[in-house]
Amino acid sequence: MPEYKAPLRDFKFVMDELLNVQAHYSELPSAEMTTPDMVDAIIQEGAKFCEQVLSPLNLSGDQEGCKLTDKGEVLTPSGFKEAYQQYVEGGWPSISAPEEQGGQGLPESLGLVMSEMVGTSNWSWGMYPGLSHGAVATIQLHGSDEQKERYLPKLVSGEWTGTMCLTEAQCGSDLGILRCKAEPNADGSYNITGTKIFISAGDHDMAENIIHIVLARTPDAPAGTKGISLFIVPKLWVNDDGTSGDANGVTCGSIEHKMGIHGNSTCVLNFDGAKGYLIGPENKGLACMFTFMNFARLGTALQGLGAAELSYQGSVVYAKERLSMRSLSGVKNPDGPADPIIVHPDVRRMLLTQKAFAEGARAMIYFIAVQGDFVHHGATEEIRKEADEMMGFLTPIAKAFLTEVGYEASNEGMQVLGGHGYITEWGMEQIVRDCRIALMYEGTTGIQALDLLGRKVLMTQGASLKRFTKLVHVFCKEQAENEEIKEFIEPLAKLNKEWGEMTMKIGMAAMKNRDEVGAASYDYLMYSGYATLAYFWAKMALVAKQKLAAGTTETAFYEAKVQTARFYFQRILPRTVSHAQTALSGAGSLMDMPEEYFTV
């Protein structure tokens, strides 16, 4: 298994040099005490925990998996429970939670750095505390004062964990056809009955209690999505004094047998008259759920980043050590029987693809996280609204595009190792298996694409797109005379203009045939992803060029940034040409074939 090393220098580059987060934190009313020394200390300590505790459990957790005992207990892999106790004792679950709920009140963007390290070092383990974030956010935003007082302190501290129970066997992303029932009781509670599937971290032995956030229907609810409500349903009933009481009619029916993330207990959960309480207004469950969905999707985007980063770390070490054949341009290792494979152009292609996606993804995700800070803590309503709209536009791109290219990067990592990459003990194939689900979580790539093109772009008459492309336009205009980065600015400016023109053409076609939106959406999203990443790589190249011009002892680091940007623009960004052509090709080749022609 690759030995994870936190990319501390790149964290510093993105946060301090690219995004200037310290100035950003000084603008947040709640973050003025977030000093550079504090940030560095938190990241350093987090890196130690992830490198020394979580990373060594990644391969063993995959091989051992979770077990459901005859008594109905779910056991996590060896070492997982002990690691979680260390995590709680270190105060990591509470890093970005409000102080009034027992949290440390630090910005969400800082907490995201820890989430990246946790997820990259051991994604299966990281999902246990990671799923709690959704439960905490739901209760914070929509819970009553009594619900917040009862559930948040122990969720924030990590003594309890949380889940989101949405999916059922007959409904995946189409939650309008869910059947789980909520029968009201005289005391204001509800009896929840039904079965939920694919519940990550749905049951386990790592925490005393699990607080489930469950979608269900009340008896007279309207059909479809308009009749869905949201409920808090604890695994163990929570007494008035805050302690855990009796079992609450929630049991694990089975642990899903799945392709990857074996160390995480993905459960079928049976609710047999389990007692719960309504959270938020009745029949407004989906609206309540979507208020924190941008942050949930950003968490999934991290898996794409993590897959690219870890596969790069594993394959670059191997490529420097593995000897095979001689360089086409002459012997590079005369004292050995062959040259290291890193001298071969195709191996360089794979390594640079991984590096470009990992470092580009980090810049994109951290930029969006900064918007998230403003959403929650911006000084004015205008600042909060502007950030929310920017975040809303970029989030489906980050979630879908970065998981797609992260999966590509993980496959490239396995390919670098050749046959050894296919063998379990090297750990490269595990990254591929673990990452694959990220393309489906929180809505598949296709659903994110429809959200981007349909809801975020066309339904706003292009306003959300213009908000971002204006940012790109201003940057390109400011740097138009900068010869040092002309190779990046000119293609970026051209692409930015084409993006708007392509959107208008799709919109015009969609006015005649709504299927044109669905037909174009995937390629539109991928085009948008490559274009967005180009903006961040151009920005990173500018920073690197400025540092080199000013004089630096880290020449190799900054030159590598420029050269990776050049690789991205010359060898990856041209993919936009085919995506644009496909997006504009129309729905005919997809929809003209009669359904009966699809035969087996």
Q: Among all residues, which ones are annotated catalytic?
A: 442
Per DSSP, what are the bridge partners of residue 356?
none
Which tokens in the block code for residue 156? 């924030």
Residue type, 512: K
CA distance to 49, 351, 434, 507, per residue, from 317 (Å): 22, 10, 21, 47
Inter-axis angle of helices 486-512 and 575-583, nearest 10: 10
Contact yes or no for 166/121 (Cβ under 8 A): no
Contact yes or no for 122/432 (Cβ under 8 A): no
Residues contacting 106, CB < 8 A, separation 6+: 31, 34, 42, 95, 96
Q: Which of 191, 194, 192, 193 is nearest to 169 (CA)?
A: 194
DSSP state, residue 425: G
DSSP state, residue 172: S
Residue whose token pair is 């709209």: 389
Which tokens in the block code for residue 25? 């934190």
Residues contacting 250, CB < 8 A, separation 6+: 212, 233, 234, 235, 269, 270, 271, 272, 274
Residue type, 320: K
C-alpha 432: how far from chain center: 16
If 0-12 CB within 10 Å is exposed, 13-18 middle and 19+ buried, where does residue 427 land? buried
Q: Output the CA torsion sign for 408, 409, 412, 417.
A: negative
If 0-12 CB within 10 Å is exposed, 13-18 middle and 19+ buried, where does residue 468 land? buried
- State the maximum Cα–Cα separation within the chain, in Å, rounded to a whole number: 84
Residue whose token pair is 């190779």: 487
Alpha carbons 154 and 152: distance in angstroms, whole number? 6
What is the residue-wise DSSP string for 125-146? HHHHHHHHHHHHHHHHHH--HH
Alpha carbons 46 and 51: distance in angstroms, whole number? 9
Which tokens in the block code for residue 391? 């975040």
If 0-12 CB within 10 Å is exposed, 13-18 middle and 19+ buried, where does residue 33 land? exposed
Per DSSP, what are the bridge partners of residue 211?
162, 234
Contact yes or no for 398/364 (Cβ under 8 A): yes
Q: Which of 221, 10, 17, 261 is nearest to 124 (CA)?
A: 261
3-state secondary structure of 153: helix
DSSP state, residue 460: G
Alpha carbons 182 and 165: distance in angstroms, whole number? 14
R_g (Cα) of the chain, nearest Å: 24
